[in-house]
Amino acid sequence: MSGGAHTGSILTIDLDAVAANYQTLRDISGSAEVAAVVKANAYGLGVDRVAPVLNDAGCRTFFVANIAEAYELRSLIPPAEIHVLDGLMGQPPERFVARNLRPVLNTPDEIETWRSVSAESDRPLPADIQIDTGMARLGLTADEAETLLARPDWNREMAIDCLISHLACADEPGNPMNARQRDAFAKLMPRFEARRASLSASSGMFLGEDFHFDLTRAGVALYGVNPTPDTANPMAQVIQIQGEILQVRFVDTPQTVGYGATHRVTRPSKIATIPIGYADGYPRSLGNTGIAVIGGRKVPVVGRVSMDLTTVDVTDVPDELARPGALVDLLGPGNDLDDTAARAGTIGYEILTRLGSRFERRYIENGNAGPA
Amino acid sequence: MSGGAHTGSILTIDLDAVAANYQTLRDISGSAEVAAVVKANAYGLGVDRVAPVLNDAGCRTFFVANIAEAYELRSLIPPAEIHVLDGLMGQPPERFVARNLRPVLNTPDEIETWRSVSAESDRPLPADIQIDTGMARLGLTADEAETLLARPDWNREMAIDCLISHLACADEPGNPMNARQRDAFAKLMPRFEARRASLSASSGMFLGEDFHFDLTRAGVALYGVNPTPDTANPMAQVIQIQGEILQVRFVDTPQTVGYGATHRVTRPSKIATIPIGYADGYPRSLGNTGIAVIGGRKVPVVGRVSMDLTTVDVTDVPDELARPGALVDLLGPGNDLDDTAARAGTIGYEILTRLGSRFERRYIENGNAGPA
């Protein structure tokens, strides 16, 4: 939107960190191949910039949510192996065939549709099948799987690439549901005669080798979210959000700050206003709760976050640091994605995918920072 | 992003309702002119579609947040009178002059900068001045205003268009802060010798004629949010969010639904999965809390909202309505913007401005629906 004009808000995206995270996830995945999940515009960070970096890092297999995302990715990385998690979505299967996309077939009907188009093709067409082992969201139920497998010719004229399932509680290593899902998956796996098996996304990779199977699916960890919330984050941080101070206000008792007058100053205070608000994806729930960093010092967000503006208390920051034009970190070192999400009452995934379009986006690549 | 491909999610934006809301706000504003606030991409609904409709409805004066938004609006509506709320933001004032933009000057420094560029111009250049009467966010403090006004020539070579302030608690008609802000504003107003005075945004207009002054600023009410939360919504609804059912799952005890296994079914159930998640701006906080409407029946969101998918319990909905491909309202009649926001623990403003880019956007205009 900015057309080169100034918005006073900067989102820096470290593509080198994305590449490093991909390597970390390869190391943890052992002999399993690591696919990259780049749905939702690469979790909000820009699939046009992220996917080529992953491709350069050696990633050959990608997952997206729907066919629209698959079309975009196909144009970005022509030779990519692209899997579509939401399946056929009632679309003509020819649309998938024409662009060499592999739908994740989630229902008996989808499997039958694909089998029939595959039968008419000159070669068996590859697709994935998802079986549900505990999400109750997408994929065949245990009963549907049994009914399907009871038909001797169910897969005769199609090529089952990945058998897929998805863990519900992978970020809780002690949750017995993980082993139950793994065992249910492992038991069904050989019966599907799929080329490969894939169970784990980011957190699942850290549950141990018996969760890796043939292909792991690296999603949110690529983008810096901690896949192991109970222990230190093994991933490099990818994003930083900064705003330029518009104005520093001197406020004294009994004045209040912001909508609803929710923050009442208790001493002579300096309040800095920053042109980032919830329209930019800085959650409104961070009002009177968020943290900003200026000159290495943590300062509190005071008052409600408004649509385009956030106010922080810089009373204890020297004037030469807290001045109009100075940059304030709303998310960055010392106040990272997971910290910010926790304060906002959500998870890093939601912060990432709801980042707004008004930021000046700067990408760091091969050690160099530059505009988008 | 979709390039015409299918995402299974539809955001319908009723531009006729926006025009009707503008008329409603004109009626309530009496003799005051009603400006439209179209910052944040017209509160997420698409300034390229919304601004021309407002222009056709007779709106001549627009407010945006920053210069980037002003550039875009200038290209959309060349003759528009455009005011920029965040002020100069450290940018060369010539950038505002060249495109005939009126910055809202928020500090003594900005006023001095504008005065000096205006003095070098062949005519006094119009700009607004904001005085803070209770937000402590942007604008001159009372002390700064007095210091400024004490200088006899402070405004000699510039044209003060609007004197602006902003109410902190306008959605609470009984809050004494409203009258205090109004009185402080009215007292300073004549001393600034501005052409016009503007205090109220959407909610403020409903506080009565003595809050209208010369110009009101219609923002969120244009887009359907109730500006009078304590009484019935006088505005027409503008947005509807619908998703196509991907799959209907049969789930029985002791199974759970979704991440973290937070929803445990208590009877044989049908769960419909819809391809809309928090990456689309459907808040994660609606997990186990949101409401969907299918065939006129309200059904609960069950389990966590995930990035690309939401699950609803359709056990009590006949199979012919709850089938793959059927449309489910996640926000619409019977479950409107304010209802949804309240369930999510936020306000309609945040829902609007964080709507994602993955929807198929359909605009209703002059009674006709069509794609974007």
User: Quick one: DSSP state of residue A301?
Assistant: B
**Counts of helices then strands in chain A (DSSP H, E):** 11, 20
CB A202, CB A228: distance < 8 Å = no
Q: Where in chain A is the domain with CATH 2.40.37.10?
A: 239-335
* pLDDT band with cut points at 50, 70 and 90 for residue B242: very high
Interchain contact, B68 vs A5, CB within 8 Å: yes
Which residue ranges does chain B devote to CATH 2.40.37.10? 239-371
Could you give the C-alpha distances from A176 to A183, A371, B136, in angstroms and in order? 11, 46, 51
Give CA–CA dist A245/B88, Å, rounded. Answer: 12
Classify A341 as helix, strand or coil: helix
Alpha carbon of B367: minimum distance to chain A alpha carbons (Å): 28
Query: Does the distance separating the beta carbons of A136 and B251 come in below 8 Å?
Result: yes
Tokens of B368: 């006709």
Distances in whole angstroms, Cα of residue A159 to Cα of each of A115, A119, A196, B203: 9, 10, 11, 60
Architecture of the domain whose range is A239-335: Beta Barrel (2.40)
Contact yes or no for B279 and A353 at CB 8 A? yes
DSSP code for B63:
E
Contacts of A342 (CB under 8 A, 6+ apart): none
Kindly calculate the radius of gyration of chain A based on its CA atoms and give it in whole angstroms: 24
To the query of whether residue B363 is one of the catalytic residues in this protein, the response is no
CATH classification (class only), B239-371: mainly beta
Among the partner-chain residues A71, A271, A278, the one whose CB lies closest to the CB of B354 is A278
The dotted CATH code for B31-223 is 3.20.20.10
Q: Which of A22, A39, A278, A363 is catalytic?
A: A39
Distance from CA of B102 to the nearest CA of A (A): 16
Query: For B55, phi and psi rounded to 5 degrees?
Result: -60, -45
Give the tokens for residue A112: 């039958």
What is residue A88's predicted lDDT score, i.e. its pLDDT?
A: 95
CB contact under 8 A, A6 and B91: yes
Question: Could you tell me how far CA A144 lies from the centroid of its own chain?
Answer: 30
Cα separation, A131 vs A140, whole angstroms: 5
Whether B312 contacts B302, CB under 8 Å:
yes
C-alpha torsion A18→A20→A25→A26, nearest 10: 120
Taking the C-alpha atoms of residue A324 and residue A305, their distance in angstroms, rounded to an integer, is 19
Question: Among A66, A71, A246, whose Cβ lies nearest the Cβ of B275?
Answer: A66
Domain with CATH 3.20.20.10 in chain A: 16-223
Specify the amino acid at residue A236: A
From B280's Cα to the closest Cα of chain A, the distance in A is 8
The mean pLDDT of B142-167, rounded to a whole number, is: 93
| Of residues B285, B322, B222, the one with CA closest to residue B20 | B222
Asked if A168 lies within 8 A of B106 by C-beta distance, the reply is no
Shortest CA distance to B125 belongs to which of B174, B159, B79, B91? B159
Yes or no: domain A16-223 corresponds to CATH 3.30.70.930: no
Q: What is the pLDDT of residues B161-213, one digit of tens each?
A: 999 999 999 999 999 999 999 999 999 999 999 999 999 999 999 999 999 99
Residues on chain A touching B256 (C-beta within 8 angstroms):
134, 136, 168
> Is the N-terminal amide bond of A254 cis, ω within 30° of 0?
yes
The answer to whether residue B290 scores a pLDDT higher than 80 is yes
Q: How far apart are CA B258 and CA A166, in angstroms?
A: 10
Q: Are B228 and B214 in contact (CB under 8 A)?
A: no
A288 DSSP 8-state letter: T
B90 sits in the region (left: phi over 0; alpha: psi -120 to 50; else beta) called left
- From chain A, pick out residues whose CB is under 8 angstroms from the CB of B258: 135-137, 168
Nearest-by-Cβ selection for A40 from B283, B308, B311: B308
CATH 3.20.20.10 intervals, chain B:
31-223
Q: What is the structure's pLDDT at B371?
A: 63
Confirm whether A187 is a catalytic residue.
Answer: no
Q: DSSP label at A279?
A: G
CA dist A135 → A140, A353, B7, B258 (Å): 11, 21, 21, 5
Q: Which residues of A11-37 are buried (b: 16+ CB within 10 A; e: fewer)?
A: bbbbbbbbbbbbebbbebbeebbbbbb
Q: Helix B47-56 to helix B67-76 angle, to the nearest 10 degrees?
A: 60
* Whether B7 contacts B358, CB under 8 Å: yes
What is the least distance, in Å, from the CA of A132 to any CA of chain B?
10
Q: What angle do CA A311, A225, A166 make, to 5 degrees?
A: 135
Cβ neighbors of B128 (< 8 A, separation 6 or more) are: B83, B102, B103, B104, B105, B160, B161, B162, B163, B164, B194, B198
- Chain B CB contacts of A44 below 8 Å: 279
Q: Report pLDDT digits (tens) over B292-350.
A: 999 999 999 999 999 999 999 999 999 999 999 999 999 999 999 999 999 999 999 99
d(CA B94, CA B155): 18
Q: What is the mean pLDDT of residues B55-73?
A: 97
Distance CA A176, CA A184 (A): 13
Residue-wise pLDDT tens for chain A (372 aa)?
444 568 899 999 999 999 999 999 999 999 999 999 999 999 999 999 999 999 999 999 999 999 999 999 999 999 999 999 999 999 999 999 999 999 999 999 999 999 999 999 999 999 999 999 998 889 999 999 999 999 988 888 889 999 999 999 999 999 999 999 999 999 999 999 999 999 999 999 999 999 999 999 999 999 999 999 999 999 999 999 999 999 999 998 888 898 888 898 999 999 999 999 999 999 999 999 999 999 999 999 999 999 999 999 999 999 999 999 999 999 999 999 999 999 999 999 999 999 999 999 999 999 888 765
Of B141, B260, B279, the CB nearest to A249: B141
The owner of tokens 């998805």 is: A166
Contact A366/A49 with Cβ under 8 angstroms?
A: no
- Active-site annotation holder among B22, B39, B278, B282: B39
Chain B residues with beta carbon closer than 8 angstroms to that of A85: 308
What 3-state class would DSSP assign to B15? Answer: helix
Interface A-B: count of C-beta contacts within 8 A? 256
Query: Contact at 8 Å (CB) between A80 and A73?
Result: yes
What's the CA gap between B241 and B224, in Å, rounded? 14
Q: Tell me the average pLDDT of chain B.
A: 95
Counting beta carbons within 10 angstroms of the beta carbon of residue B257, is it exposed (0 to 12), middle (13 to 18) or buried (19 or more)?
Answer: buried
How far is the C-alpha of B313 from the C-alpha of A129, rounded, in Å? 24
- The stretches of chain B forming alpha helices (DSSP H) are 15-29, 39-43, 47-56, 67-76, 94-98, 108-120, 142-149, 176-192, 202-205, 337-344, 348-353
Residues of chain A contacting residue B261, judged by C-beta atoms under 8 Å apart: 134, 168-169, 177
Q: How far is B342 from chain A (nearest CA, A)?
A: 13
Strands B269-274 vs B360-365: parallel, antiparallel or unpaired: unpaired
Does A284 sit within 8 Å of B68, measured CB to CB? no
**pTM for this entry:** 0.95
Q: Is B232 exposed, middle or buried (0-12, 13-18, 19+ CB in 10 A)?
A: exposed
- Alpha carbon of residue B253 to chain centroid: 43
pLDDT of residue A3: 44
Q: Is the pLDDT of residue B220 over 50?
A: yes
A8, A68, A346 ranked by CB distance to B2: nearest: A68
Rounded to a whole number of angstroms, the CA Rg of chain B reads 24
Nearest to A83 by CA among A127, A20, A122: A127
Q: Strands of chain A (E only): list them.
A: 9-14, 33-37, 61-64, 81-84, 101-105, 125-130, 158-164, 196-198, 215-218, 239-244, 247-251, 256-257, 263-264, 269-274, 291-294, 297-300, 310-313, 327-331, 360-365, 368-371
Which residues, 6 or more positions from B39, have their beta carbon under 8 angstroms from its beta carbon? A279, A307, A308, B63, B64, B65, B66, B69, B85, B219
